[in-house]
Amino acid sequence: MHTFASEITIQKGDERFSAHSILEVLSANLDCGTRIILEAIGADAHDALDRLEQLLFEFKEQEEGGRV
């Protein structure tokens, strides 16, 4: 597990949620197909967004692989 120093925010519509808090991420209610904007501010922002992109693709592949 890698920890990033950047502040990462999820924007869904007019609402913003801290990706640092699992409670805020869960309260964002991100259903499959939901459009969001990810924003990272900090020294390792690019690396943090790259890792998030990788995780989202992995989650999607797992979800699609579990369907019958």
Give the integer Cα–Cα distance in Å for 9 and 50: 14
Give the integer Cα–Cα distance in Å for 63 and 6: 28
pTM (2 decimals)?
Answer: 0.73
Look at residue 67 in the predicted model and tell me its pLDDT: 60
Look at residue 66 in the predicted model and tell me its pLDDT: 66
Look at residue 32 in the predicted model and tell me its pLDDT: 75
For residues 32 and 37, which has the higher predicted lDDT (pLDDT)? 37
Sheet with 37-41, side-by-side order of all strands: 15-18, 7-12, 37-41
